[in-house]
Amino acid sequence: MSKDPFQILADELTLIRKDMDQLQRTSLNKDEAKKLNQIVTAAVMKMAKATDDAPGEIQGALEADRDQMARSATQAATRAAESAMAGIRHDSTMSAQSSHRQPERPAGRHGAGLC
């Protein structure tokens, strides 16, 4: 039992009508499309500005990092120098104290005065 050509055409028109209704429900009207366009345009402009500003911000961050590294290196060098100076002072003090003492004579022929 095949369908009548008129019935086939009517069925096709019904399907087309349903598809158009669905498209109308999911499509934007003119005002909605304008609003969406404004939102997308603003977002694109914001991204473009961020892209333009990025090199300067990166350069600033790199300079700040470089300055911090220089300060840290200077502080580390200062601590190392102070530690070295403290060691030198300690060695100098110990040397000065030992030169003021009378060296003990070893016990033996020369130490007992039997030469």
The whole-angstrom separation of Cα 45 and Cα 48 is 5
pLDDT at 105: 58
Residue 6's H or E segment, with its range, is helix 5-26
pLDDT tens, residue by residue, 17-26? 988 888 777 7
Q: Which amino acid makes up residue 38?
A: Q
Q: For residue 38, is pLDDT > 90?
A: yes
Q: Where are the alpha helices (DSSP H) in 30-107?
A: 30-100
The token pair at 19 is 């598809």
More confident residue, 66 or 101: 66
pTM of the predicted protein model: 0.40
Among 71, 90, 70, residue whose Cα is nearest residue 82: 90
User: In the block, which residue shows the tokens 């600033």?
Assistant: 60
Contact predicate 115/109, CB 8 Å: yes
